[in-house]
Amino acid sequence: MYAGYRYPSQVISHAVWLYHRFTLSFRDVEELLAARGICVSYETVRKWCVKFGSQYCNQLRKKRGQLGDIWFLDEVFIKINGVLHYLWRAVDQDGDEIDILVQKRRNKKAAMKFFKKLLKGQQATPLKIITDKLRSYSAAKRDIMPSVSHSTEQYENNRCELSHQPTRQQERQMRRFKSQVLNCTPI
Protein backbone atom coordinates (compact mmCIF):
# COMPACT_ATOMS: atom_id res chain seq x y z
CA MET A 1 0.00 0.00 0.00
CA TYR A 2 2.81 2.41 0.89
CA ALA A 3 5.42 1.01 -1.52
CA GLY A 4 7.56 3.56 -3.33
CA TYR A 5 7.27 6.28 -0.68
CA ARG A 6 10.28 7.91 0.94
CA TYR A 7 8.85 7.64 4.44
CA PRO A 8 8.08 4.40 6.27
CA SER A 9 4.50 3.18 6.31
CA GLN A 10 4.24 3.88 10.06
CA VAL A 11 4.96 7.58 9.51
CA ILE A 12 2.45 7.90 6.67
CA SER A 13 -0.30 6.05 8.52
CA HIS A 14 0.38 8.05 11.70
CA ALA A 15 0.12 11.35 9.80
CA VAL A 16 -3.15 10.29 8.15
CA TRP A 17 -4.46 9.06 11.51
CA LEU A 18 -3.58 12.37 13.22
CA TYR A 19 -5.33 14.39 10.53
CA HIS A 20 -8.52 12.33 10.51
CA ARG A 21 -8.76 11.48 14.21
CA PHE A 22 -8.36 15.02 15.54
CA THR A 23 -9.49 18.28 13.96
CA LEU A 24 -5.99 19.27 12.92
CA SER A 25 -4.76 21.18 9.91
CA PHE A 26 -2.06 19.83 7.62
CA ARG A 27 0.37 22.32 9.16
CA ASP A 28 -0.51 21.08 12.65
CA VAL A 29 0.28 17.52 11.59
CA GLU A 30 3.54 18.79 10.06
CA GLU A 31 4.46 20.39 13.41
CA LEU A 32 3.59 17.27 15.40
CA LEU A 33 5.76 15.14 13.13
CA ALA A 34 8.57 17.71 13.34
CA ALA A 35 8.42 17.48 17.14
CA ARG A 36 9.17 13.76 16.70
CA GLY A 37 12.11 14.51 14.41
CA ILE A 38 10.35 13.79 11.11
CA CYS A 39 10.77 16.55 8.51
CA VAL A 40 7.82 16.48 6.17
CA SER A 41 5.96 19.35 4.49
CA TYR A 42 2.28 20.04 5.02
CA GLU A 43 1.75 19.56 1.28
CA THR A 44 3.07 16.00 1.57
CA VAL A 45 0.69 15.38 4.48
CA ARG A 46 -2.15 16.71 2.32
CA LYS A 47 -1.26 14.35 -0.53
CA TRP A 48 -1.09 11.40 1.87
CA CYS A 49 -4.49 12.28 3.32
CA VAL A 50 -6.03 12.60 -0.14
CA LYS A 51 -4.57 9.29 -1.30
CA PHE A 52 -4.94 7.18 1.85
CA GLY A 53 -7.71 8.99 3.74
CA SER A 54 -10.63 7.11 2.21
CA GLN A 55 -8.94 3.74 2.88
CA TYR A 56 -8.33 4.81 6.47
CA CYS A 57 -11.95 5.89 6.94
CA ASN A 58 -13.24 2.64 5.43
CA GLN A 59 -11.10 0.64 7.87
CA LEU A 60 -12.51 2.65 10.77
CA ARG A 61 -16.07 2.02 9.59
CA LYS A 62 -15.44 -1.73 9.39
CA LYS A 63 -13.99 -1.83 12.91
CA ARG A 64 -16.71 0.20 14.60
CA GLY A 65 -19.14 -2.71 14.74
CA GLN A 66 -22.92 -2.60 14.84
CA LEU A 67 -24.55 0.79 15.15
CA GLY A 68 -27.72 1.56 17.06
CA ASP A 69 -31.25 1.18 15.76
CA ILE A 70 -32.43 4.73 16.55
CA TRP A 71 -31.17 7.23 14.02
CA PHE A 72 -31.01 11.00 14.45
CA LEU A 73 -30.96 12.89 11.14
CA ASP A 74 -30.18 16.54 10.54
CA GLU A 75 -28.82 18.88 7.91
CA VAL A 76 -26.71 21.99 8.29
CA PHE A 77 -25.70 24.53 5.67
CA ILE A 78 -22.05 25.02 4.83
CA LYS A 79 -20.38 27.21 2.24
CA ILE A 80 -17.92 25.59 -0.11
CA ASN A 81 -16.04 28.14 -2.20
CA GLY A 82 -18.78 30.64 -1.39
CA VAL A 83 -21.59 28.37 -2.67
CA LEU A 84 -24.26 27.21 -0.21
CA HIS A 85 -24.44 23.42 0.29
CA TYR A 86 -26.18 21.22 2.84
CA LEU A 87 -24.35 18.67 4.92
CA TRP A 88 -26.77 15.85 5.77
CA ARG A 89 -25.71 13.82 8.80
CA ALA A 90 -27.06 10.70 10.53
CA VAL A 91 -26.08 9.74 14.08
CA ASP A 92 -27.19 6.74 16.16
CA GLN A 93 -28.38 6.81 19.78
CA ASP A 94 -24.81 6.43 21.07
CA GLY A 95 -23.66 9.53 19.17
CA ASP A 96 -21.73 7.52 16.57
CA GLU A 97 -21.89 9.01 13.11
CA ILE A 98 -23.56 6.70 10.62
CA ASP A 99 -23.00 8.66 7.42
CA ILE A 100 -22.82 12.12 5.85
CA LEU A 101 -23.73 13.51 2.46
CA VAL A 102 -23.11 16.93 0.90
CA GLN A 103 -25.78 18.18 -1.50
CA LYS A 104 -26.86 21.49 -2.98
CA ARG A 105 -30.54 21.02 -2.22
CA ARG A 106 -32.71 20.32 0.80
CA ASN A 107 -35.82 18.90 -0.87
CA LYS A 108 -37.54 15.49 -1.00
CA LYS A 109 -35.25 14.20 -3.75
CA ALA A 110 -32.17 15.10 -1.68
CA ALA A 111 -33.64 13.46 1.42
CA MET A 112 -34.46 10.31 -0.56
CA LYS A 113 -30.88 10.16 -1.85
CA PHE A 114 -29.61 10.48 1.73
CA PHE A 115 -31.96 7.74 2.99
CA LYS A 116 -30.90 5.39 0.19
CA LYS A 117 -27.24 6.00 1.00
CA LEU A 118 -27.89 5.32 4.68
CA LEU A 119 -29.78 2.09 4.02
CA LYS A 120 -27.19 0.88 1.52
CA GLY A 121 -24.34 1.54 3.97
CA GLN A 122 -26.06 -0.10 6.95
CA GLN A 123 -27.95 -2.88 5.18
CA ALA A 124 -30.54 -2.63 7.96
CA THR A 125 -33.43 -0.33 8.70
CA PRO A 126 -33.72 1.48 12.01
CA LEU A 127 -36.59 1.04 14.45
CA LYS A 128 -37.05 4.80 14.76
CA ILE A 129 -35.75 7.96 13.12
CA ILE A 130 -35.73 11.34 14.82
CA THR A 131 -35.52 14.50 12.72
CA ASP A 132 -36.36 18.16 12.88
CA LYS A 133 -39.59 19.38 11.31
CA LEU A 134 -38.23 19.60 7.75
CA ARG A 135 -40.99 18.18 5.53
CA SER A 136 -38.51 16.55 3.16
CA TYR A 137 -37.74 13.91 5.78
CA SER A 138 -41.38 12.90 6.18
CA ALA A 139 -42.00 12.75 2.43
CA ALA A 140 -38.89 10.66 1.77
CA LYS A 141 -39.57 8.37 4.74
CA ARG A 142 -43.07 7.62 3.45
CA ASP A 143 -41.60 6.43 0.14
CA ILE A 144 -38.50 4.59 1.31
CA MET A 145 -39.11 3.44 4.91
CA PRO A 146 -42.87 3.48 5.53
CA SER A 147 -42.74 1.01 8.45
CA VAL A 148 -40.18 2.98 10.49
CA SER A 149 -41.40 5.13 13.38
CA HIS A 150 -40.69 8.87 12.92
CA SER A 151 -40.49 11.55 15.59
CA THR A 152 -40.15 15.32 15.16
CA GLU A 153 -40.47 16.43 18.79
CA GLN A 154 -38.72 19.65 19.74
CA TYR A 155 -35.26 19.21 21.38
CA GLU A 156 -35.31 15.46 20.70
CA ASN A 157 -32.88 15.89 17.80
CA ASN A 158 -30.21 17.66 19.88
CA ARG A 159 -27.88 14.64 19.65
CA CYS A 160 -27.51 15.22 15.92
CA GLU A 161 -27.38 18.99 16.28
CA LEU A 162 -24.36 18.62 18.59
CA SER A 163 -22.61 16.35 16.10
CA HIS A 164 -22.22 19.34 13.76
CA GLN A 165 -19.82 21.07 16.16
CA PRO A 166 -16.60 19.33 14.99
CA THR A 167 -17.49 20.20 11.38
CA ARG A 168 -18.02 23.85 12.28
CA GLN A 169 -14.74 23.85 14.22
CA GLN A 170 -12.91 22.39 11.24
CA GLU A 171 -14.59 24.93 8.95
CA ARG A 172 -13.37 27.81 11.13
CA GLN A 173 -9.91 26.36 11.38
CA MET A 174 -9.62 25.93 7.61
CA ARG A 175 -11.14 29.39 6.99
CA ARG A 176 -14.04 27.93 5.00
CA PHE A 177 -14.14 24.78 2.93
CA LYS A 178 -12.53 24.89 -0.48
CA SER A 179 -13.83 21.65 -1.99
CA GLN A 180 -16.74 19.28 -1.59
CA VAL A 181 -14.51 16.45 -0.34
CA LEU A 182 -15.10 16.29 3.40
CA ASN A 183 -12.96 14.30 5.79
CA CYS A 184 -14.33 11.48 7.81
CA THR A 185 -15.21 12.96 11.15
CA PRO A 186 -13.28 12.22 14.32
CA ILE A 187 -14.35 9.17 16.23
Q: What is the pLDDT of residues 100-127, one digit of tens each?
A: 889 999 999 999 999 999 888 777 788 9
Q: How far is CA 119 from the centre of its chain?
A: 16
Are the C-beta atoms of residues 159 and 93 closer than 8 Å to each other? yes
Distance CA 182, CA 179 (A): 8
pTM for the structure as a whole: 0.64
Whether the pLDDT of residue 184 is over 60: the answer is no
What residue ranges do the domains of the chain occupy? 9-63, 70-173
pLDDT digits (tens, 9 = 90+) for 24-38: 889 999 999 999 999
Are the C-beta atoms of residues 98 and 91 closer than 8 Å to each other? yes
Count, residues in the chain: 187
> Looking at the domain covering 70-173, what would its CATH class be?
alpha beta
Are the C-beta atoms of residues 185 and 96 closer than 8 Å to each other? no
